[in-house]
Amino acid sequence: MHDPVTTLHQGAAQGPSAQGGFSAPGTPSRASGPVARLRSLRSVSLATPRSVESAEFYREVWGLTPMECDGGSTWLRGTGPEHHVLELRAAEQNALRKIAFAVGDRREVDTAARRLAEWGIEPLSGPGGLDGPGGGYGLRFPDVEGRLIELSCEVAAVTPGDPGGLPAVPRGLAHVVLNTVDIDAACDFYTQVLGMRISDWSEHQMVFLRCNSDHHSIAFNQAQWTSLNHVAYEMTSIDHFMRGIGRLKHHGQVPLWGPGRHGPGDNTFSYFADPAGLVCEYTSEVAQVEEDAWLCRTWRRTPELSDLWGTAGPPSVDVRTRMAGIPDPGHPRPERTGLPAVSRPGGGRS
């Protein structure tokens, strides 16, 4: 349908840059490969000074369902099988608190802990029982820029709610896009340590990573500082997607950008801002990857390829500013993890 490519890469090959900028923590020569086989993106935890207003927005307007509220935190689910897909936590400034991925069972969690040690990464907690709603068994550790990663299994089951029905509400998370100060280091960490595969590049500005048949569950955007770019929620069909946009319109919320359809991933998009100014997206119809047949491509960053329908136009300065966010302090990293220091705005290093 499209001829977007300027370069063709076989499989999960290196991106358009030089051969990766990842300074592996610890002693990678001892590492036996990825620490786990990630099954899916479970949930994201966001810190915000407007957690109460945001929780109301995600319930009343966005279409998620609160599962628990406790001490200023709220956990919300979609209609899919995850116990919760979003945690909102009170804090002084916007920040990404945690990204959670599913793994298969306890043995995989325990194996992940052992393999993390081979990479020179010590879990910040676990392996063991997880605190908080949904429980489960897992472990938590920092990524190369101090983001907190959780691998979990045995999280409490919930009954999927009317996924093919009338309510135009999210099924769950579709993807999280993260701003990075070093896209090669981030890409290398998530492919080499976490075992994700590269689906596509958007020049040397964005890289799209998958952990299952969805074209991407995580994407990185080269930026001036580490922060959350946006969180995307899966609508079960393009009809749900459009009716969801309609419901937001009735709440006085118009898209910051969209509706449209992206080239990389072929997914529909419509971006909004939550009460804290964080960018959230409705999406649907993401491309499905046949693992042995997929060819990684490098897309040119042209208006017709980022907006295939020609309906959305280029992103405004406002949405780009919101997607840049503010520098995220990340999770404190103990010295002993050996993770490389990360550049911060102003030239400082954490």
- Which one-letter amino acid corresponds to residue 154? E
CB of 175 to Fe ion, least distance (A): 6
Three-class SS of residue 287? coil
Nearer to Fe ion, 102 or 232 (CB): 232
Please give the Cα distance from 278 to 322 (Å, whole number). 7
CB of 287 to Fe ion, least distance (A): 13
The residues of the shown chain that bind Fe ion, judged by CB under 5 A, are 232, 281
Nearer to Fe ion, 144 or 232 (CB): 232
Nearer to Fe ion, 274 or 281 (CB): 281
Nearer to Fe ion, 222 or 337 (CB): 222
Task: From 135, 93, 146, select the one nearest 349 (Cα to Cα).
Answer: 146
- Spatial contact of 88 and 43, defined as CB atoms under 8 Å apart: no
CB of 92 to Fe ion, least distance (A): 27
**In the complex, which residue's CB is closest to Fe ion?**
232
Provide the CB-side half-sphere exposure for 213 (13 A, CA): 4
Neighbour count for residue 343 (Cβ, 10 Å): 16
Please give the Cα distance from 220 to 176 (Å, whole number). 9
CB of 291 to Fe ion, least distance (A): 22
Q: Give, in order, the Cα–Cα distances in Å from 154 to each of 66, 114, 220.
A: 20, 19, 28
Nearer to Fe ion, 76 or 232 (CB): 232
CB of 219 to Fe ion, least distance (A): 7
